Amino acid sequence: GKKEGIIVAGGQGQGNGLTQLSSPQGVVVDQLGTVYVAEYGNDRIMRWPKGATQGSVIVGGNGRGGQSNQLNG
C-alpha cells in the first residue's frame, strides 16, 4: 500500500474559501469517492467530488443560525 497521504479536501490554510476548511468536525467518503466535510468554523457542509480541485458548499455557509440556509452547531 501507499505510505504517503494526499490532500483531498482543503489544503490552502484555514478560511472560508472553496479550497479551505475551518474547524472540520466530520468527514464521510461515499462509494464514488466524493468527500463530504462538516465544518464547525464555517457552519457549512462541503463536497469534493473525486479529483476536484475545489469544493462546493452543499448546506449552510451563511453564518450560524436557524434559517433554512444556515447551520447552528
pLDDT, residue 13, reads 87
pLDDT, residue 7, reads 76
Residue-wise pLDDT for 35-47, tens only, equals: 999 999 999 999 9
CA distance 19 to 49: 13
- E-assigned strand segments in the chain: 24-29, 35-39, 44-48, 56-60
pLDDT, residue 73, reads 66
Measuring CA to CA, which residue among 20, 19, 48 is closest to residue 32?
48
The topology (CATH level 3) of 1-73 is: Thrombin, subunit H (2.40.10)
pTM: predicted TM-score of the whole model, two decimal places: 0.84
Domain boundaries, the chain: 1-73
